[in-house]
Structure 1
């Protein structure tokens, strides 16, 4: 008789729901999904960059000269990044004007560079194309971001700063979130993104940030919602803050902030009030700092891989039977 999953394992399965629905049991298959690929020449395997639902595939049909369907692979045929970017921009503007796929509400005006996943943070690897951030889930494109865990050491123990997202935001309105988080947009590095988002979201001075920011690796997960697919990798940083520091927001995307104990933070994360796709970051923090351990979480060995999903293996030309 199998052991019941803990609440933490259920959370981890929740932010990896696409994996558990489609990819858990070999051979990994995604019935109804089509791989989006870019041909790389006769002698080089095509690059798998995304996954498409039947609805997305159908709405790409007016641009069929630029797409060729071969054996559950939709090849995006333009030969250079500029042309690919131009075509995607035309497609997305058309869908936005028609109100398709929530684009009229989620449009960010913030471009993401799309690169082969394992080369995403390499400055020497040119992008395959760029497109608005809001569209990346629609095409199942890999997404990258930065999160900063802000914490305070008190005599009574460790406390964490959490933000409460503005109720006006299209996605996750009013939910609790990590202190700072943002997507890795075009021309921004991991560290410039951390600096930019820390200033905009929490008014953290850049000089203090650069002196005290500690890199803490990354988390990755494979989530699905009504907005699309989120095969995300988030680069994680820890930032110890003084007891007299109080964050304030500058960009209108945050309603407020709360300083909570680790125990209180855990209860918020376990509730339905915390942003699902930010859960891996705070759970990883709690594991690394020993608050989630083998004594209080017997299923720790099952949790750790779910915080570090090997996304590269799902975006190779020979993986699975899509």
Structure 2
């Protein structure tokens, strides 16, 4: 039986890095293999050995990086200097084809934060997992509420077959990474139009912020690029209730080529696809959070309820926005 066949198995899939608070010995053993990416006395990421080896390259030593046993620091006294040094590093690797993950270069900038929400530096999105730094996204579940004759249904997109990451897998209705300084609400507005052809006025009127999920993902090959790269994330979550298409509600359809089709699935179909591993891992986390908030997963029907809930809202050890 697949480890994904239970709700807790789905959580284990997306939150696969030991938690220092609950499993200190496993955390210490795992992190002993890595270098801490530090700013002052704060850990902003973890660097695995293959990335450390690349940083130790003689062409990258000196003014760009300070590498000590177990600790790596990005040089530069200002945000601009640190951003420049990171950019020179990742572009050098891209030109040398050092890492497969950089073949998906997006020219989209993510922010890495220092304490109190101030920017530490900015970097290319595709290079983020090489440094194990915290990323952010926004995900929205668009659903048709249950009626006396129909169950609750969720609009589920299938990712385009040509996507570099998780091609052909199922996704959350609307989802996107928070790049270029955008906040979670702006991200949802943008992605709703691009991925689902939803009118901005409708989203602004009906979408509701409902919290977040957080986890520490260890990337698999399906994610694109090298397996084993580290990807801690916070996903801001939104719900949007709409009428069924035959009652005047919207029919979601792709717009930007990243989605192949949108399917209106009932809960049983969504659950079956979740447990068969058909959803992108972090999208499973968002759906499980939706299930808990809507009373589909409860303490009465799920023996792992408490662990599922707490693991979906993991306290991460990094400075946040």
Which band: TM-score by shorter chain? 0.7 to 0.9
Q: CA deviation at 1:100?
A: 2.3
Q: Which of 97, 121, 128 matches 1:129? A: 121
TM-score for the superposition, normalised by structure 1: 0.88
Q: 1:183 to 1:227 in 2, by over 3 A?
A: farther
Q: 1:138 to 1:23 in 2, by over 3 A?
A: farther
Give the distance between the partners of 1:192 and 1:5, measured in 2 at CA: 33
Q: Which of 124, 141, 145 matches 1:153? A: 145
Give the distance between the partners of 1:303 and 1:98, measured in 2 at CA: 42
Is the Cα–Cα contact under 8 Å of residues 139 and 172 in structure 2 kept in the other structure?
A: yes
Q: CA deviation at 1:315?
A: 2.9
Is the Cα–Cα contact under 8 Å of residues 135 and 231 in structure 2 kept in the other structure?
A: yes
Q: 1:213 to 1:118 in 2, by over 3 A?
A: farther
SS of the residue 1:148 aligns to: strand
SS of the residue 1:304 aligns to: helix
Is the Cα–Cα contact under 8 Å of residues 149 and 160 in structure 1 kept in the other structure?
A: yes
1:277-296 deviation per Cα after TM superposition (whole angstroms, max 9, x unaligned): 21110000001000011222
TM-score for the superposition, normalised by structure 2: 0.88
Q: Which runs of 4+ in 1 moved over 4 A?
A: none
1:133-177 deviation per Cα after TM superposition (whole angstroms, max 9, x unaligned): 111111001001000000012431210011100111111000001
Q: How many residues align?
A: 298
Counterparts of residues 253-264 of structure 1 (less than 5 Å)? 253-264=258-269
Counterparts of residues 46-125 of structure 1 (less than 5 Å)? 46-61=41-56, 62-65=59-62, 66-116=64-114, 119=117, 125=118
The answer for the alignment partner of 1:31 in structure 2 is 32
The answer for the alignment partner of 1:169 in structure 2 is 163
Worse-superposed segment, 23-32 or 270-279? 23-32
Is the Cα–Cα contact under 8 Å of residues 38 and 77 in structure 1 kept in the other structure?
A: no
Give the distance between the partners of 1:96 and 1:183, measured in 2 at CA: 21
Gaps of 5+ in 2: 220-226
Is the Cα–Cα contact under 8 Å of residues 75 and 85 in structure 2 kept in the other structure?
A: no
